[in-house]
């Protein structure tokens, strides 16, 4: 319909005087150019994804010529810059998973507790204060969390685990958990608030307590949003870089012991970027191979979360 | 019969008491989670402030980094951050807003539009270090920009683009349809409607999104490390092709040193960074409030 209006407009001008007709043409050309520019802007996002894949794959090819994919994915020793060199990525993957699991154990129960409190118990005025205050946590730069982990959390934990090093998976994971609390709580709360009041009121009318309403009505109805928030928090934790670089250590190790010093995939990439590794060397290419694996892991999580939304999302 | 009723009512009362007890217990747990979050935030801020304030001075802000903690400052990193943010905004704003306008005002409902939308949602959750690797390959390497501010700004623009696009789309979507219909009724073309009605009316919302995107970019260390590596700079960048360092990297550098004095410097640097972030967020909230007042009128 909008297109029709444009057409009839230029026709009217064409029937009118000539000066106005060139004005109308200029408007059409300008509009055309603008539309093409805007389309290019939108297509740039696709170019970004292509750029990510091309840059990671093209640089990893050199790596995978020398190291087989099988050796990379199943090897249990990661010493790419020490002799004897060994390129088994599993210690980095295990380190990443260890920190991620610790952070999720912290963030999911607390984030869910906050979401239930805000959506079911808190009066509107209190909600309006608490929500933005907690979201500050998500806006604090990650180097600040790293600083917090090694200057306060690690020394405090060392009083409990006396043989623990200052750099360890536990304090990095705990602090990362604090950081991702608002991701879980915000998205879950949005989903819980979207559950229609009438459903909750129905349960209240049957004599349910607030907790029973939350447990048996709100959470099941908001489940797709809650699961999405947990998956996104997981994906964020896997890709988080500065906290683990600062606080988790730099010793790739196959261990699920939380008080050990470990290294994650992201921390390895930063460690190698800090040195001026010569372009094109095998060491330089390792960061792209690890980056490619990291990208694929987070991509799977993201697609999974979108699938959950499209498959399970209920509109009321 | 009477005995039975009495028994039932006793069981009933006990059950009610139990259900209420469980409810109260969980209520305290939920309240506790809120407190954990808030106490975590307060502890973090108190730790940074107590360690950092003794090191904070005008000399700290106007001095270059140094091996001697007493003389070290954050000046080159602060200037690097200002350069990087300025250039990032130049790339991000027109392209991000342009993409949002296309998706809201122009895009037909077809597979391409769906692909773009899915893709933007995915880009929003790609880890930032991956963008660093993209920038390292394409901007630093293939486009031969070197480890320059320009390469860093292009990388960060791609990183925060999804935030600008999503926020701008929300702002545009919130406009009443009557605005556009009134303009069309006056005979405006689609581009005239976009340029003279949609963009000005959505501007406060778009600006809020841009500020939020910039406050994300200003705290990013990982992708910038991949681009700039760790450099020891005692000069101020004067062109977009100069090497640079930014505040989060300088802070990271100080944290990584074993001496306690540098930890204090790191805390002082964090305070400066948080003050900048706080002012940016205050500006965003101010704009949002003004905007809300205007649409209600």
Q: Return the CATH number at A117.
A: 1.10.3720.10
| A82 shares its domain with A54 | no
Q: Using alpha carbons only, what angle is made at residue B136 by residues B130 and B137, rounded to the nearest 5 degrees?
A: 95
SS3 assignment, position B174: coil
Residues A234, A88 share a domain: yes
Distance of CA A192 to the CA centre of its chain: 21
Question: Does residue A164 form part of some domain?
Answer: yes
What pLDDT does residue B263 have? 87
> Would you call A62 an interface residue with chain B, using a CB distance cutoff of 8 Å?
no
Q: Which long-range contacts (CB under 8 A, 24 or more apart) does A28-32 make?
A: A28/B189, A30/B191, A31/A6, A31/B189, A31/B190, A31/B191, A31/B192
Is residue A88 domain-resident?
A: yes
Q: Which residues of chain B, if any, have pLDDT below 50?
A: 293, 296-297
Burial of B131 (0-12, 13-18, 19+ CB in 10 A): buried
Contact present, A117 and B34 (Cβ < 8 Å): yes
For residue A67, being part of any structural domain is answered with no
Please give the DSSP secondary-structure letter assigned to residue B112: H
B116 touches chain A (CB under 8 A): yes
Whether residue A282 contacts residue A66, with contact meaning beta carbons closer than 8 Å, is answered with yes
The answer to whether the complex's ipTM is over 0.90 is: no
The CA distance from A60 to B226, in Å, is 16
**In contact, B247 and B77? CB cutoff 8 Å:** yes
Q: Is A273 on the interface with B (CB under 8 A)?
A: yes
How far, in Å, CA of A128 to CA of A251, rounded? 44
pLDDT value at position A181? 93
Q: Looking at the 3D structure of chain A, how many domains does it have?
A: 2
> What is the four-CA torsion angle of B163, B168, B170, B173, rounded to 10 degrees?
-150
Residue A283 lies in a domain: yes
Q: Which of B42, B100, B133 to mutate to test the interface with A (most CBs of A within 10 A)?
A: B133
Whole-angstrom distance, CA of residue A184 vs CA of residue B174: 26
Interface of A with B in 121-160 (CB under 8 A): 121, 130, 133-134, 136-137, 139-148, 150-152
Tokens for A146, please give them: 């790293």
CB pairs A-B closer than 8 Å: 273
> B35: which 2 tokens?
């407190």
Same structural domain, A43 and A99: no
**Which residues 28-87 on chain B approach chain A with CB closer than 8 angstroms?**
29-34, 36-38, 40-41, 43-44, 47-48, 51
d(CA B181, CA B194): 12
Q: How far apart are CA B154 and CA B228, in angstroms?
A: 13
Q: For residue B192, which of A35, A171, A114 has the smallest C-alpha distance?
A: A35
Greatest pairwise CA separation for chain B in angstroms: 95
What pLDDT score does A316 carry? 65
Q: Which candidate from B22, B41, B98 shows the least CB-CB separation from A38?
A: B98
Tell me, what DSSP letter sits at residue A304?
H
Same domain, A192 and A86: yes
Same domain, A129 and A258: yes
Give CA angle at A223 (A207, B38), nearest 5°.
85
What SS3 state is found at A32?
Answer: helix
Range of the domain at A35: 2-59
Q: Does B159 touch chain A (CB under 8 A)?
A: no
Encoded tokens for B180: 């556009």
Closest CA to B192 of A51, A109, A28, A127: A28
**Cβ contact (<8 Å) for B252 and A295?**
no
Query: What pLDDT score does A11 carry?
Result: 46
> A64 lies in a domain?
no
- Are A136 and A21 in the same domain? no
* CB contact burial B200-225 (16+ within 10 A = b; e otherwise): ebbebbbbbbbbbbbbbbbbbbbbbb
Instruction: Determine the Cα–Cα distance for residues A270 and B10; give it in Å rounded to an integer.
Output: 66
Say whether A212 and B23 touch across the interface (CB within 8 A).
yes
Q: Hey, is A89 helix, strand or coil? A: coil
Q: Are residues A159 and A28 in the same domain?
A: no
Is the residue at A69 inside a domain?
no
Q: Where are the alpha helices (DSSP H) in A206-281?
A: 210-213, 219-221, 223-239, 242-247, 265-274
Class of domain B59-296: mainly alpha
ω before A84 within 30° of 0 (cis)?
Answer: yes
Residues in chain A where the model's pLDDT stays below 50: 1-19
DSSP state of A218: I
What was the pLDDT predicted at B291? 67
């Amino acid at each position: 319909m909008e297109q029709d209006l444009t057409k009839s407009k230029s026709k009217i001008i064409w029937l009118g005087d000539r000066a106005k007709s060139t004005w109308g043409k200029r408007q059409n050309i300008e509009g055309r150019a603008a539309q093409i520019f805007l389309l290019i802007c939108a297509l740039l996002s696709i170019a970004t994804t292509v750029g990510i894949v091309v840059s990671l794959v093209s640089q990893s090819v050199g790596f995978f010529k020398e190291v087989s994919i099988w050796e990379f994915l199943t090897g249990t020793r990661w010493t790419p810059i020490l002799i004897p060199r060994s390129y088994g990525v599993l210690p980095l993957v295990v380190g990443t998973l260890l920190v991620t699991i610790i952070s999720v154990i912290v963030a999911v129960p607390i984030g869910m507790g906050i979401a239930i409190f805000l959506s079911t118990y808190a009066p509107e005025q209190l909600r309006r204060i608490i929500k933005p205050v907690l979201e500050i946590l998500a806006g604090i730069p990650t180097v600040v969390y790293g600083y917090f982990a090694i200057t306060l959390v690690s020394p405090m934990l060392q009083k409990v685990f006396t043989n623990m090093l200052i750099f360890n998976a536990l304090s990095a994971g705990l602090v990362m958990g604090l950081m991702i609390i608002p991701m879980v709580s915000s998205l879950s709360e949005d989903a819980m608030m979207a559950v229609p009041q009438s459903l909750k009121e129905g349960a209240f009318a049957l004599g349910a307590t607030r907790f029973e309403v939350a447990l048996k009505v709100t959470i099941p109805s908001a489940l797709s949003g809650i699961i999405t928030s947990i998956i996104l928090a997981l994906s964020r934790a896997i890709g988080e870089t500065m906290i683990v670089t600062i606080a988790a250590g730099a010793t790739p190790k196959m261990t699920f012991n939380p008080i050990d010093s470990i290294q994650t995939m992201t921390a390895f990439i930063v460690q190698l970027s800090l040195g001026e590794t010569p372009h094109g060397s095998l060491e330089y290419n390792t960061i792209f191979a690890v980056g490619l694996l990291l990208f694929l892991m987070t991509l799977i999580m993201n697609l999974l979360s979108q699938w959950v939304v499209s498959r399970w999302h209920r509109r009321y | 019969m009477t005995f039975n009723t009495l028994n039932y009512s006793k069981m009933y009362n006990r059950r009610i008491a139990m259900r209420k007890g469980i409810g109260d217990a969980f209520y305290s747990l939920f309240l506790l989670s809120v407190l954990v979050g808030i106490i975590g935030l307060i502890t973090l801020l108190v730790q940074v402030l107590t360690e950092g304030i003794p090191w904070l001075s005008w000399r700290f802000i106007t001095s270059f980094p140094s091996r001697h903690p007493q003389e070290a400052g954050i000046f080159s990193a602060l200037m690097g951050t200002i350069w990087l943010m300025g250039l990032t905004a130049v790339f991000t704003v027109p392209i991000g807003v342009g993409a949002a306008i296309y998706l809201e005002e122009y895009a037909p409902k077809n597979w391409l539009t769906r692909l773009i939308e899915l893709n933007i949602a995915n880009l929003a959750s790609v880890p930032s270090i991956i963008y660093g690797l993209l920038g390292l390959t394409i901007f630093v390497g293939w486009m031969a920009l070197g480890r320059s501010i320009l390469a860093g700004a292009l990388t960060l623009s791609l990183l925060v683009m999804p935030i600008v696009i999503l926020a701008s789309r929300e702002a545009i979507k919130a406009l009443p349809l009557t605005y556009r219909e009134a303009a069309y009724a006056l005979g405006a073309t689609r581009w005239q409607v976009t340029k003279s009605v949609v963009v000005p009316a959505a501007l406060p919302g778009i600006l809020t999104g841009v500020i939020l995107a910039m406050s994300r970019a200003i705290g990013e260390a990982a992708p910038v490390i991949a681009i700039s590596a760790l450099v020891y700079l005692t000069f101020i960048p004067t062109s977009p092709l100069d090497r640079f360092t930014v505040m989060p990297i300088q802070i990271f550098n100080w944290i990584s040193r074993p001496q306690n004095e540098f930890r204090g410097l790191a805390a002082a640097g964090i305070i400066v960074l948080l003050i900048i972030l706080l002012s940016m967020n205050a500006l965003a909230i101010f704009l949002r409030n003004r905007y809300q007042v205007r649409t209600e009128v």
